[in-house]
Homo-oligomer: A and B are copies of this chain.
Amino acid sequence: MNGAHTLLDTLVEAGIEVCFANPGTSEMHLVTAIGKTDAVRPILCLFEGVVTGAADGYARMADNPAITLLHLAPGYANGMANLHNASKAHSAVVNIVGDHAVWHHKYNAPLTSDVPGHVRLQSAWVRTSASAEDLALAGAEAVQAARGGAGHIATLIVPANHAWEPAQKSYDRLAPEGLATVADSAIEAVAAALANGRRTAIVVGGRAMREAPLEMLGRIAAGCNATLLCETFPVRVQRGAGRTPLARIPYFAEQAIEFLKDFEQIILVGAQEPVAFFAYPGVPSLLAPPDCAMMTLAGVHDDIPAALAKLATRVTTAAECPRQPRIVPSLTGTELSPGAIADVISAGLPENAIISDEGITCAQELFLRTEGAPAHDWISVTGGSIGQGLPVSFGASIACPDRKVVAFQADGSAMYTVQSLWSMARERSDVTVVLLNNSSYAILNVELTRLKAGDPNPKTLSMLDLGNPVIDWVSIAQGMQVDACKVETVAEFENAFAKAMQTRGPHLIEVMVVQNLGVPVKR
A residues lining the B interface (CB < 8 Å):
21, 23-26, 28-29, 31-32, 34-36, 42, 44, 46-47, 49, 73-75, 77-78, 80-81, 84, 88, 100-101, 103-104, 107-111, 113-114, 117-118, 121, 160-161, 164, 233, 272-273, 275-279, 281, 285-286, 382-385, 387, 412, 415-416, 418-419, 422, 425-426, 443-444, 447-448, 451-454, 456-457, 459-466, 468-481
Contact = CB atoms under 8 A, between A and B. Distances in A.
Nearest to A165: B281
Contacts of A78: 49, 78, 80-81, 387, 416
Contact of A233 (B110, B164, B460): B110
Nearest to A473: B479
A113 B121 contact: yes
A503 to B, nearest CB: 17
Contacts of A114: 121
Contact of A453 (B28, B88, B448, B454): B28
Contacts of A233: 110
A474 B114 CA distance: 38
Nearest to A477: B479
B46 A415 contact: yes
A107 to B, nearest CB: 4
Given A84-B73, A463-B31, A385 B111 contact: yes
Contacts of A23: 444, 463-464
Contacts of A74: 80-81, 84, 383-385
B160 A279 contact: yes
B416 A46 contact: yes
A469 B35 contact: no
B121 A272 contact: no
Contacts of A104: 275-276, 278-279, 285
Contacts of A36: 457, 459-460
A103 B385 contact: no
A111 B35 contact: no
16 contacts: A25-B447, A28-B447, A31-B453, A31-B463, A32-B453, A34-B459, A34-B460, A46-B466, A77-B77, A78-B387, A84-B113, A100-B278, A418-B418, A470-B481, A474-B479, A476-B480
Contact of A35 (B32, B418, B457, B478): B457
Nearest to A412: B46
Given A101-B279, A161-B279, A44 B385 contact: no
Of the listed residues A35, A42, A470, the one surrounded by the most CB atoms of chain B closer than 10 A to its CB is A35
Given A101-B279, A103-B279, A286-B107, A44 B476 contact: no
Of the listed residues A47, A75, A272, the one surrounded by the most CB atoms of chain B closer than 10 A to its CB is A47
Contacts of A160: 278-279
Of the listed residues A77, A101, A114, A384, the one surrounded by the most CB atoms of chain B closer than 10 A to its CB is A77
Of the listed residues A75, A113, A474, the one surrounded by the most CB atoms of chain B closer than 10 A to its CB is A113
B109 A42 contact: no
Contacts of A277: 25, 109-111
